[in-house]
């Protein structure tokens, strides 16, 4: 049986505003740069018991993250929308921000898909993919030829 290496697939779904460069002027330095075109950095670690994915997701709330397993593909995605509506005497201010990402990874055959777990702390999403335990009671014996 052939083992597949765990490499990210190239799946990208992001929102890019039509006029994204319109406000690239020093006058608007207080406006934060949009994260809509960024993909989170990922570390992939392996030891004898599991694979670990660590994604940098600063500023993204746990409720906006989604993790799906479909056959041999693990998909991590996020979508968030924020709106500000402010009305004062003489002016009205409306702003919105939309950000999303989607990253998919092939799951090796030796991963126990039923025990995949995740946690999010300090802007790091950690996904644990435990390996299937190998049989420890394999019987090995020598047979005499008569």
pLDDT digits (tens, 9 = 90+) for 25-44: 433 333 333 444 478 999 99
- Please give the model's pTM, rounded to 2 decimal places: 0.62
Q: Which residues pair with 86 in a beta bridge?
A: 93
Does a structural domain hold residue 81? yes
Does a structural domain hold residue 6? no
Does a structural domain hold residue 143? no
Work out how many domains the chain is built from and give that number. Answer: 1
Distance CA(108)–CA(131), nearest Å, equals 9
Tell me the H-state helices in 13-125: none
Provide the CATH number for the domain around residue 89.
2.60.40.790
The tens digit of pLDDT for each residue in 88-112 reads: 888 888 888 888 999 999 999 999 9
Does a structural domain hold residue 18? no
């Amino acid at each position: 049986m052939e083992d597949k290496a765990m490499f990210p697939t190239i799946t990208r779904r992001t929102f890019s505003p039509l006029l994204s460069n319109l406000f690239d002027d020093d006058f608007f330095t207080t406006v934060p740069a949009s994260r809509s075109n960024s993909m989170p950095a990922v570390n992939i670690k392996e030891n004898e018991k599991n694979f670990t994915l660590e994604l940098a997701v600063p500023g993204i709330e746990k409720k906006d993250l989604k993790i799906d397993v479909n056959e041999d593909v693990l998909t991590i995605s996020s979508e968030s929308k924020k709106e500000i509506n402010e009305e004062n005497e003489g002016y009205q201010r409306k702003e919105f921000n939309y950000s999303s990402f989607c990253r998919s990874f092939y799951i090796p055959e030796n991963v126990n898909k039923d025990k995949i777990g995740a946690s999010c702390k300090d802007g790091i999403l950690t996904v644990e993919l435990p390996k299937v335990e190998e049989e420890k009671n394999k019987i090995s014996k020598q047979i005499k030829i008569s």
